[in-house]
Amino acid sequence: MPISKSDLDLIKAALAEDLAGGEDITSVATIGATATAKADFTARKSGVIAGIEIAEAVLREVGLSEVTRFKADGDHVKAGDILLSVSGNTRAILLAERTALNFFSHLSGIATLTSAWVKEMAGTKCQVRDTRKTTPGMRVLEKYAVRMGGGTNHRMTLSDAALIKDNHIAAAGGVVAAFAKVRELYPNSEIEIEVDTLEQLRDVLPQKPDLVLLDNMSPAQCREAVAIVNGACKLEASGGIAIESAHEYAESGVDYIAIGALTHSAPVFDIGLDLRAE
């Protein structure tokens, strides 16, 4: 993944947050200004990594140029694997350590969780995809991590496509009215609409939606929805779906399962920095 200007801005902001205009008083007190070391970013558990290029960019931002990658984003790794190594000024390495690990561990946690969902849905046509429940300022990176885990992305922004949800429906006066208003104003946009019941699905289907979100429906209801639609549009199941039931939902015939937890609740993937004085 090429590092964008917004990524660099985010890195600079994270480093500035760590220093808060001062200096690393612990490193300045305990480490000579010209001391050098080598350090390895090492996986402490098995999983899928994402964000290795961001971690490298953090290192380079503090002036460390001797960086070697041993793995790539999307790789399955095991505990003990060295992911990335850096050589250079010891103070600089320790300055970059936490910021690099914050990005790397968080994004790898998303990739690892996504991979677990993909594994549960193996053997079906269904894909797991994310939502807009992302960390402010990190949406592009978090959705990238979902892709590295084998998932797919929903819309990136509110302007990418229309998603008519329950509050829009209530404000507009029903599923048909809400759909008609969006279609009239944005005739060329992809339109997805949320339904809470199979009756709503039947009502909106003649409007030819691109995708219908089946909200808080059981696998049995999803199977019935698939039969009702009969290929006329794509279907997405969402709302309180646990990974233990992922395969049952996937087998119902829906095209997607939307999981907000991929980005808002992924456990951090354990990566450590092991320093070796040169």
Catalytic residues: 98, 133, 165, 194, 215
For the record, the structure tokens of 79 come out as 């505990």
| Residues whose CB falls within 8 Å of the CB of residue 192, separated by 6 or more in sequence, listed in order | 161, 162, 163, 164, 209, 210, 211, 212, 213, 236
Q: How far is CA 206 from the centre of its chain?
A: 34
Instruction: Report how far residue 53's alpha carbon sits from residue 55's, in angstroms, rounded to the nearest whole number.
Output: 5
Q: What is the DSSP letter of 269?
A: P
Instruction: Report how far residue 28's alpha carbon sits from residue 37's, in angstroms, rounded to the nearest whole number.
Output: 15
The CA radius of gyration of the chain, in Å to the nearest whole number, is: 23
Say if residues 203 and 178 touch (Cβ distance below 8 Å): no
Instruction: Report how far residue 115's alpha carbon sits from residue 131's, in angstroms, rounded to the nearest whole number.
Output: 16
Q: Write the burial class of residue 166 (CB in 10 Å: 0-12 exposed, 13-18 middle, 19+ buried).
A: middle
Say if residues 41 and 93 touch (Cβ distance below 8 Å): no
Q: What angle do CA 189, 262, 50 make, to 5 degrees?
A: 100
Q: Write the burial class of residue 82 (CB in 10 Å: 0-12 exposed, 13-18 middle, 19+ buried).
A: middle
Instruction: Report how far residue 19's alpha carbon sits from residue 79's, in angstroms, rounded to the nearest whole number.
Output: 31
